[in-house]
Structure 1
Amino acid sequence: MLTALVVAAAALATAACGNNGEAAGNASPTSSATASGSPAESGTQAASPSASAAPAKSDEPLVVYLNDFDEIIKPMFEEATGYKLELVTGNGAEISSRIEAEKGNPHWDVVWMDAMPTINQMGKNGQLLEGWTPSDIDNLTDFAKALVPANLSYYPTGAHAASVIVYNTKAFNADSAPKTWADLADAKFKGTVGMADPAVAAPAYPFVAWFFQSQGMDGGKSYFDSLMKNGLHVYPKNPNVAKALTGGEIKAAALQESNAYVLKNAGEPVDIVWPAEGAPASVRVAAIQKNTKHADAAKAFIEFLLDPKTQQSLIDNGEESYFQPSAKGVAMKPDRSPDAKLVVAEAEWAGEHEGEIKQWFADQAVK
């Protein structure tokens, strides 16, 4: 049941991607540079930038490293600003590894990823532009403002539940299904619960980090040890968990929210529980490389991401469309539960303990 964690050990130092884009598997990061300076054509309505940006004076595109989803941002940004954009996409482990390998000679200008603890550590290591404030900073929600670091090295563009509780309605009903995180360790759910690997799936690390911070390191180990002793199934990424849930291999899961709602909207026999204590959040943040040669375009891109029109377009048309926006004046998906409550592991703490926590999970695979 924990064999998937053996694979995770190879990715210990990195965070990872985890939503619908995970279906790309372990393919290498891909690049999608524009062929010319003209804006790309798109069937998606482009959002207006929050601040007017002048067209790039160079033929070189702005290089953005991001999770392998929401690539619609490229035509949207190019059409709205005149800047050219090159996307390098991959799962979180791939992008983090690439950034680490390029530490002495970065090839990226902006990183936009569901990996706030990792990016926070990059800021502490002097890899990010600090001290710059976007023009639309006052339009951030209170929740988002609380996540902006003191050195102003990155900005949140949204947050989603790293996991909610999802159950197969053929196995349980609303009364018999697990309702709290503690319920997943109950003997009556023995061998029926699954989750994604925190060393591979980007949302899975913020999910487990919240338990380790809120309960202490020993408390976090005790909780997940109790799940494992109760027959927890661990899969590489969230789509693997979703497939196991609908296929009957497991009957309940801690599953990233977009994956959960995609299943429900597709008519699969599942239902979603938002635990009253809150769902640990994965926060998507954007940061600028300290020595970028395209600072104006990079700043315009961050401001574009923080624009409520852009965030509304991502909710209406994006792959990662179930999330809590960071900008005021944005409507979430109408079917997203009114009981949705997000809790967040503190970025610096989660970043400092990332290696230790992932190592602990990897060690469980060989026991």
Structure 2
Amino acid sequence: MKKVLAALFTATMILAGCGSSDGGDSKSLVVYSPNSEGLIASTIPAFEEKYDIKVDLIQAGTGELFTKMNSEANNPVADVMFGGAYSTFTQNENLFEPYTSPNNDMVIEDYQNKTGYITPYVLDGSVLIVNNNLIGDLEINGYADLLNPELKGKIATADPASSSSAFAQLTNMLLAMGGYEDEGVWDYVKELFTNIDGKLASGSSNVYKSVSDGEMVVGLTYEDPSVALLNNGADVTIVYPEEGTVFLPAGSAIIKGAKNMDNAKLFIDFIISQEIQNVYGTQTTNRPVLKDVETSDTMTPMSEINTITEDIDYVREHKDEMVEKYKTIFAEIESNK
């Protein structure tokens, strides 16, 4: 009897082990994501249907999810982190499993997985949004045009010290107007914020809303909500700065020690497949990362935009000093009024 019980116990443990690891029979995947409902709705059901895998989705803010992953590092709950700023992933490399999808070569070269663990899947660009009813005869084709005295107090922006989209605009204009380390570019920043006249929006959403609602002529914002406004019939124009537009990638990665490793790899492959990238380009307001992909009529083709590439590592390392420099300039402008 003891031998029988021992054999049964051993068999039970083997089966339990098979059930807890990804031995190829797993039909589940746990995904953490800060993404919008539109992006989630375009991705998760399609993945579940294609692979007959049930996705357990936990949604929260990027910071909250990274805190959660750090606390769970010794016993991970999730298999994939789907979404979040690229720079946040690079600051937490220890949380992720090395993996490069076979679809990586189809991605635009600047946005391919070159870290060995972060897979970019959509891009968001820093753009200008213009109210067509208020612009009149003024020409706005890029950053230089924002210094027009007729726009004083009519330019919407959030605070680069507290808003990620406004900080992205700051680094975009620094790069586009001469380079991060060019002191002359900070003269442009001073002139621009003098023209902004202290009118900082309380958040990134208030920037594009104030332009759409006719409160401001032009706003420094990002592409995703601007395209959404166009899709909803707003009388606005999206301007990609002629000096150069930076597109920043959203990242995804497999969590180190993922219990459903094979399914996690399938998910990474899926989000940069031709199939789902065409959906992103035509049915959402997110810009795809593949070289050859369909996009909606309201999304300007990448080939028609003067794109420039941000040095993500440099910006991450110098972010604090950039913010402090901006804050000093802004305080000086306000004190001189």
Q: TM-score, normalised by structure 1?
A: 0.71
In the aligned structure 1, how far is the partner of 2:158 from the partner of 2:248? 13
Correspondence for 2:213: 247
Identity %: 23
Give per-residue Cα distances to partners, 1:43-68, cap 9 Å, x unaligned. Answer: xxxxxxxxxxx997457532222323
Q: Could you tell me which of 283, 289, 299 is aligned with 1:326?
A: 289
In the aligned structure 2, how far is the partner of 1:88 from the partner of 1:362? 36
Correspondence for 1:168: 131
Is the Cα contact below 8 Å between 1:164 and 1:274 reproduced in 2?
yes
Correspondence for 2:257: 291
Distance change in 2, residues 1:220/1:110 (3 Å): farther
Give per-residue Cα distances to partners, 1:118-138, cap 9 Å, x unaligned. Answer: 222222xx22222x2212222
- 1:206 aligned onto 2:174: no
Correspondence for 1:349: 314
Q: Could you tell me which of 79, 87, 90 is aligned with 2:49?
A: 79
Correspondence for 1:28: none
Aligned length: 300
Task: Report SS of the residue matched to 2:71.
Answer: coil
Q: How does 1:238-317 map to 2 (within 5 A)?
A: 238-317=204-283
Is the Cα contact below 8 Å between 2:29 and 2:79 reproduced in 1?
no
Correspondence for 2:192: 227
Distance change in 2, residues 1:101/1:114 (3 Å): closer
Is the Cα contact below 8 Å between 2:230 and 2:298 reproduced in 1?
no
- Return the letter of the residue paired with 1:299: K
Cα distance, 1:353 vs structure 2: 2.7
Bigger share in helix: 2
Q: Which structure is larger by alpha-carbon Rg, 1 or 2?
A: 2
Distance change in 2, residues 1:180/1:71 (3 Å): same
Cα distance, 1:212 vs structure 2: 4.2
Is the Cα contact below 8 Å between 1:207 and 1:282 reproduced in 2?
no
Cα distance, 1:358 vs structure 2: 4.5
Q: Could you tell me which of 142, 152, 174 is aligned with 1:190?
A: 152
Is the Cα contact below 8 Å between 2:172 and 2:245 reproduced in 1?
no
- Return the letter of the residue paired with 2:83: M
Cα distance, 1:349 vs structure 2: 1.6
Distance change in 2, residues 1:142/1:84 (3 Å): same
Q: How does 1:121-140 map to 2 (within 5 A)?
A: 121-123=91-93, 126-130=94-98, 132-140=99-107
Is the Cα contact below 8 Å between 1:238 and 1:259 reproduced in 2?
no
Cα distance, 1:89 vs structure 2: 2.7
- 1:63 aligned onto 2:11: no
In the aligned structure 1, how far is the partner of 2:30 from the partner of 2:286? 27
Correspondence for 1:89: 59
CA RMSD of aligned residues (A): 2.9
Unaligned runs of 5+ in 2: 1-21
Is the Cα contact below 8 Å between 1:165 and 1:254 reproduced in 2?
yes
Is the Cα contact below 8 Å between 2:169 and 2:221 reproduced in 1?
no
In the aligned structure 1, how far is the partner of 2:283 from the partner of 2:35? 17
Correspondence for 1:154: 118
In the aligned structure 1, how far is the partner of 2:318 from the partner of 2:309? 15
Unaligned runs of 5+ in 1: 1-53
In the aligned structure 2, how far is the partner of 1:186 from the partner of 1:140? 39
- 1:178 aligned onto 2:144: no
- Return the letter of the residue paired with 1:336: M
Task: Report SS of the residue matched to 1:164.
Answer: strand
